[in-house]
C-alpha cells in the first residue's frame, strides 16, 4: 500500500478535576492523507492552513519518521495532505491529532507493524499529553495513567444522552504557559477534593447521573490558577450555569471551554459565547458529541 487516510478526533482533557488523566474525544476531526513518494511535501487545508509548517518539521512528518525509525526503516519521502477542522492552540487536542495522524499513517504504510499501545507510548514520549492522546486514539471517555514508561488506558462507555457545547475563543494559548502558572504542590485537602470529584465524575458520566456533574466537575488544581490567564472564564462558567449546563470546565489547558448538557446545548453554547463577547473577545460556539470510535485508518491504494 502506498496511500492511507487517518481521521483523528478532537479531545478535551481534564474535564475539570481529572488533571492530566481524563480525556473525552469529540466529534470534530482532522484528516491526514499520507503517501509514500520521493521528497517531502505538506499541504494544509482548513484550520492552521496559514501557520502550520510545511517541511520536515511538520508534526505529521515527524510522527511518521518516528514510526519508520522504530521499525528500523528510513523515511525518504512523504506527501502529507491534512484537512483540519480543529483549531490549533485552543485546548482541543490538535497537536495530539497531528502526532497520531503521522504515526498511525506511517504504521499503516508499514503494514501495521506496531500495536496501538506502542504507537500511544511513542506519541506520549513525543507530545507529552496522555490525556488527549488516549482519547484521540481510542475515542470516548478515557482514563490514562503513566506507569513506568508505559501508558495504561481505560476507555469507558458514556451515558448516551449527553451533549457537549464547546466555546472556542479567537485566541491561542500555549500549554506550557498555562502549566507555568500552576503551583508545584497541592495541599492534601485540595488533593482529596480533586480525587473525590474525578472519581465521582467518571461514575456520573458512565452511569448516567447528570445530577452529580456540577459538583463533580469542580477543581482546585489548575482552573483557579488559570483564571489569571483567562480573566473572562468565570463569566463564561456562570453563563453556562445560568443557561442550564449540567457541568462545565476549561478544555485542557484552554482557552476553549467544554460544557455538558442534555437538551439545552445550543442555549448553553450561545450563552457562553455571549459572555465571552461581553468581555471583548470574539469566538464561536459548537455543539459536539462524543466521538466513540477514536482514530480510524483507511487504505486508499
Ligand atoms: N492536561 C493538560 C493541562 C492539557 O491541563 O495542562 C493537555 O493534555
Q: What is the pLDDT of residues 243-266, one digit of tens each?
A: 999 999 999 999 999 999 999 999
Contact 142, 134 (CB under 8 A): yes
Ligand 1 pocket residue status of 194, Cβ below 6 Å: no
Alpha helices in 208-257 (DSSP H): 213-216, 223-226, 233-242
* Per-residue pLDDT at 1 exceeds 90: no
**164-169: strand order across its sheet:** 247-250, 257-260, 164-169, 283-288
CA-atom Rg of the chain in angstroms: 19
Q: Which three cell numbers stand for residue 79?
A: 506527501
Looking at the chain, the whole-number percentage of residues with pLDDT higher than 70 is: 100
- Minimal-distance CA residue to ligand 1 atom 6: 253
Distance 83 CA to ligand 1 centre (A): 24
Q: Which atom of ligand 1 is nearest to the CA of 130?
A: 8
> Quick one: fold of 3-157+290-299?
Ribosomal Protein S5; domain 2 (3.30.230)
Ligand 1 pocket residue status of 219, Cβ below 6 Å: no
- Minimal-distance CA residue to ligand 1 atom 4: 252
In degrees and rounded to multiples of 5, residue 194 shows phi and psi of: -70, -40
Contact 133, 120 (CB under 8 A): yes
What's the first-to-final CA gap in the chain, in angstroms?
6
Query: In angstroms, how far is CA 157 from the centroid of its own chain?
Result: 18
pLDDT (mean) for 187-209 = 97
Instruction: Indicate the class that CATH gives domain 164-288.
Output: alpha beta
Ligand 1 pocket residue status of 127, Cβ below 6 Å: no
Q: What region does 174 belong to: left with phi over 0, alpha with psi -120 to 50, or beta?
A: beta
Looking at the chain, the whole-number percentage of residues with pLDDT higher than 90 is: 95
For residues 164 and 266, give the distance between their C-alpha atoms in angstroms, rounded to a whole number: 9
Ligand 1 pocket residue status of 223, Cβ below 6 Å: no
pLDDT score recorded for residue 55: 87
pLDDT tens readout for residues 42-86: 999 999 999 998 989 999 999 999 999 999 999 999 999 999 999
Q: Which residues are CB-neighbours of 158 under 8 A, at least 6 positions away?
A: 24, 140, 141, 205, 206, 290, 292
Q: What region does 143 belong to: left with phi over 0, alpha with psi -120 to 50, or beta?
A: beta
Average pLDDT of the chain is 97
Q: Which atom of ligand 1 is nearest to the CA of 175?
A: 6
pLDDT (mean) for 18-37 = 98
Distance 36 CA to ligand 1 centre (A): 33
* Per-residue pLDDT at 35 exceeds 80: yes
**Domain ranges within the chain, ordered by starting residue:** 3-157+290-299, 164-288
pLDDT tens readout for residues 129-156: 999 999 999 999 999 999 998 999 999 9
Distance 252 CA to ligand 1 centre (A): 5
pLDDT score recorded for residue 272: 98
Amino acid at each position: 500500500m502506498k496511500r492511507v487516510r487517518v481521521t483523528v478526533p478532537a479531545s478535551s482533557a481534564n474535564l475539570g478535576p481529572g488533571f492530566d488523566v481524563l480525556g473525552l474525544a469529540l466529534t470534530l476531526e482532522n484528516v491526514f492523507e499520507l503517501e509514500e513518494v520521493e521528497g517531502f511535501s505538506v499541504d494544509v487545508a482548513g484550520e492552521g492552513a496559514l501557520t502550520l509548517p510545511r517541511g520536515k518539521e511538520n508534526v505529521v512528518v515527524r510522527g511518521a519518521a518516528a514510526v519508520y525509525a522504530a521499525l528500523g526503516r528510513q523515511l525518504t519521502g512523504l506527501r502529507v495532505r491534512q484537512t483540519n477542522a480543529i483549531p490549533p492552540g485552543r485546548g482541543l487536542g490538535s497537536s495530539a491529532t497531528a502526532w497520531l495522524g503521522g504515526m498511525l499513517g506511517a504504521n499503516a504504510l508499514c503494514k501495521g507493524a506496531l500495536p496501538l499501545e506502542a504507537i500511544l507510548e511513542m506519541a506520549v514520549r513525543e507530545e507529552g499529553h496522555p490525556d488527549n492522546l488516549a482519547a484521540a486514539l481510542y475515542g470516548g471517555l478515557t482514563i490514562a495513567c503513566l506507569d513506568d514508561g508505559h501508558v495504561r488506558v481505560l476507555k469507558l462507555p458514556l451515558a448516551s444522552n449527553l451533549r457537549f457545547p464547546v466555546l472556542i475563543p479567537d485566541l491561542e494559548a500555549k500549554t506550557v504557559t498555562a502549566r507555568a502558572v500552576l503551583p508545584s504542590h497541592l495541599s492534601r485537602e485540595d488533593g482529596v477534593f480533586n480525587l473525590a470529584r474525578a472519581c465521582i465524575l467518571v461514575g456520573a458520566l458512565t452511569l448516567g447521573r447528570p445530577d452529580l456533574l456540577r459538583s463533580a466537575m469542580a477543581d482546585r488544581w489548575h482552573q483557579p490558577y488559570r483564571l489569571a490567564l483567562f480573566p473572562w472564564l468565570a463569566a463564561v462558567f456562570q453563563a453556562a450555569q445560568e443557561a442550564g449546563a449540567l457541568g462545565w470546565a476549561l478544555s485542557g489547558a484552554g482557552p476553549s471551554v467544554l460544557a455538558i448538557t442534555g437538551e439545552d446545548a445550543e442555549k448553553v453554547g450561545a450563552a457562553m459565547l455571549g459572555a465571552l463577547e461581553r468581555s471583548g473577545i470574539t469566538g464561536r460556539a459548537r455543539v459536539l458529541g462524543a466521538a466513540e470510535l477514536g482514530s480510524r485508518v483507511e487504505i486508499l491504494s
